[in-house]
């Protein structure tokens, strides 16, 4: 019988064996499965933090308006836009106002438009969870508080109670 010769790997043979390559691919796959979900959670956490900040800022703006006018924005209109309208809300917060909430483009101590503006732009800020600027005004005081209208997103404001929420059923508790 003849001798069987096994080829041994020499230092001058270039490349990796198939087994070595498979081990590396398996290790990289395991690392990817562990690491990728952490990046996804970071993005969601950032959106939640942005939503909390925007919501807190809008609540502070509404509270400041109430402290200076003794009523919430949009409740009695702004002199041009009807009461309980989102346009009255935006104008009263983005323009100068007098004691009654009548909005003007410039401040004038003679006419009493000395308050505000409370927002930098003539629009509500973008709601970060759904990327919506929609604003729904509710003018009826509910004993149990206000609830979101559905999943449209944006904002919802009650001008009787001052409650300001994200208008999405899964985020209304914020």
The 10s digit of each residue's pLDDT in 12-37 is 667 888 899 999 999 999 988 888 77
Secondary structure letter of residue 24 according to DSSP:
H
Neighbours of 99 (CB within 10 A): 13
Is the distance from CB of 153 to CB of 135 less than 8 angstroms? no
Task: Tell me the residue range of the domain where 80 lies.
Answer: 20-166
Tell me whether residue 99 is in a domain.
Answer: yes
Distance CA(139)–CA(164), nearest Å, equals 12
Tell me whether residue 144 is in a domain.
Answer: yes
Distance CA(31)–CA(97), nearest Å, equals 58
How large is the average pLDDT for residues 100-118? 93
The number of folded domains in the chain is: 1
Conformation bin of residue 70: beta by default, left when phi > 0, alpha when psi is -120 to 50:
left
Tell me whether residue 5 is in a domain.
Answer: no
pLDDT tens digits along 34-75: 887 777 677 778 888 999 999 999 999 999 999 999 999 999
Tell me whether residue 154 is in a domain.
Answer: yes
What's the pLDDT at 63?
A: 97
Tell me whether residue 13 is in a domain.
Answer: no
Tell me whether residue 112 is in a domain.
Answer: yes
Q: How far is CA 27 from CA 20, 34, 37, in A?
A: 11, 11, 17
Tell me whether residue 141 is in a domain.
Answer: yes
Q: How far is CA 117 from CA 28, 59, 159, in A?
A: 55, 15, 18
Q: What is the pTM of this model?
A: 0.75
Q: What percentage of residues in the chain have a pLDDT greater than 70?
A: 89
Tell me whether residue 2 is in a domain.
Answer: no
């Amino acid at each position: 019988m003849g001798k069987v010769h096994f080829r041994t790997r020499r230092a001058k043979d270039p490349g990796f064996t198939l087994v070595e390559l498979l081990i590396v691919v398996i290790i990289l796959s395991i690392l990817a499965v562990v690491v990728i979900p952490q990046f996804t959670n970071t993005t969601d956490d950032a959106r939640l933090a942005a939503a909390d900040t925007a919501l807190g800022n809008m609540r502070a703006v509404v509270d400041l308006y109430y402290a200076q006018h003794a009523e919430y924005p949009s409740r009695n209109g702004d002199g041009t836009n009807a009461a309980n309208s989102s346009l009255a809300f935006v104008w009263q917060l983005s323009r100068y106002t007098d004691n009654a909430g009548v909005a003007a483009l410039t401040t004038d101590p003679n006419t009493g438009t000395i308050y505000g503006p409370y927002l930098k732009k003539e629009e509500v800020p973008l709601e970060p969870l759904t990327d919506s600027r929609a604003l729904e005004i509710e003018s009826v005081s509910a004993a149990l508080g206000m609830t979101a209208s559905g999943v449209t997103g944006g904002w919802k404001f009650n001008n009787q109670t001052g409650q300001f929420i994200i208008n999405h059923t899964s985020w209304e508790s914020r």
